[in-house]
């Protein structure tokens, strides 16, 4: 297969992959990259329609990405009175497979003494945090989960920069989390968690301090 055809095939595969993304931002980013490649392919085969259509798609993706970057959302915290909440049970059941993929160590049946909060984004429940108080200012994160369509770190940043201070009651706090799969460990590091124990059979332990 000629190199130009291989290039065009790769560009097509990138665009096809973008359409499989649930996260809107990731979809736009990958689609933009694929459209850039396909526009270059159009130049390579000297097809002005192919080039112009994909250039238009690049501009549209870039415009939407700029809107997403500048978009401001209203975040708030919704505390559940109990982890026995019917809504919490339904939420965990609905996203069970995705939660197992990102946090296989999470055990819904072992939440005695835990507390749960939803992060609302424009009044939409986009993230769930379940934690257990170990002592004054010390918390174990049992689950920190964002629904697929809202995985842009904004909800997590709100929790650790604003909500966690409220939960800690105005004192310096430490949040411990266990990362058993690579995707979760990368997520924790991106949020500023520091690895305190290396990854083993039960995963690695991370900690993040939150100052009042």
Give dist(CA 209, CA 212) in Å, integer: 10
Structure tokens belonging to residue 93? 């059941």
Residue 21: band (very low, low, confident or very high) from pLDDT cuts 50, 70, 90? confident
pLDDT at 149: 83
Domain ranges of the chain: 3-70, 75-210
Per-residue model confidence (pLDDT) at position 161: 84
The upper half-sphere exposure of residue 132, i.e. CA atoms within 13 Å in the direction of its Cβ, equals 12
Interval 59-67 mean pLDDT: 89
56-63, long-range: CB < 8 A, 24+ apart: 57/31, 57/32, 58/32, 61/28, 61/29, 61/31, 61/32, 61/35, 62/32
What does each C-alpha distance from 92 to 27, 52, 79, 128, 149 come to in angstroms? 25, 46, 16, 9, 16
**10-19, 43-52, 193-202, range with the lowest pLDDT:** 193-202
Q: Using CA atoms, how far apart are residues 60 and 32, in angstroms rounded to an integer?
A: 9
Percent of the chain with pLDDT over 70: 99
- The dotted CATH code for 75-210 is 3.40.630.30
Side by side, which strands form the sheet with 173-179? 75-79, 114-121, 124-135, 138-146, 173-179, 203-210, 194-200
How would you classify the pairing of strands 194-200 and 173-179?
Answer: unpaired
Q: Write down the pLDDT at residue 5.
A: 87
Task: Give the distance, in angstroms, between the CA of residue 178 and the centroid of all CA atoms in the same chain.
Answer: 17
Residue pair 136/148 in contact by the 8 Å Cβ criterion: no
Please say whether the beta carbons of 11 and 37 come within 8 A.
yes
Query: For 95-116, how does the pLDDT look when each residue is reduced to its tens digit (9 = 90+)?
Result: 999 999 999 999 999 999 999 9
Q: Length of the chain in residues, anyone?
A: 212
């Amino acid at each position: 297969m000629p190199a130009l055809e291989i290039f065009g095939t790769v560009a097509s595969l990138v665009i096809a992959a973008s359409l499989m993304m649930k996260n809107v931002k990731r979809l736009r980013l990958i689609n933009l990259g694929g459209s850039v490649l396909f526009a270059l392919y159009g130049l390579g085969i000297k097809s002005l329609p192919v080039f112009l259509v994909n250039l238009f798609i690049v501009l549209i993706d870039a415009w939407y990405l700029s809107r997403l970057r500048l978009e401001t959302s209203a975040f708030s915290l919704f505390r559940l009175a109990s982890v026995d909440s019917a809504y919490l049970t339904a939420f965990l059941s609905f996203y069970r497979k995705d939660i197992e993929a990102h946090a296989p160590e999470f055990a819904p049946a072992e939440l005695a003494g835990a507390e749960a909060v939803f992060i609302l984004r424009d009044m939409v429940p986009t993230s769930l945090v379940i934690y257990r108080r170990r002592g004054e200012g010390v918390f174990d994160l049992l689950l920190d989960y964002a629904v697929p369509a809202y995985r842009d770190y904004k909800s997590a940043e709100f929790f650790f920069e604003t909500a966690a201070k409220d939960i800690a009651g105005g004192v310096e706090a430490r949040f411990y989390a266990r990362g058993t799969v690579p995707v979760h460990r990368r997520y924790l590091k991106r949020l500023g968690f520091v690895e305190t124990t290396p990854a083993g059979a039960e995963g690695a332990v991370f900690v993040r301090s939150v100052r009042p």
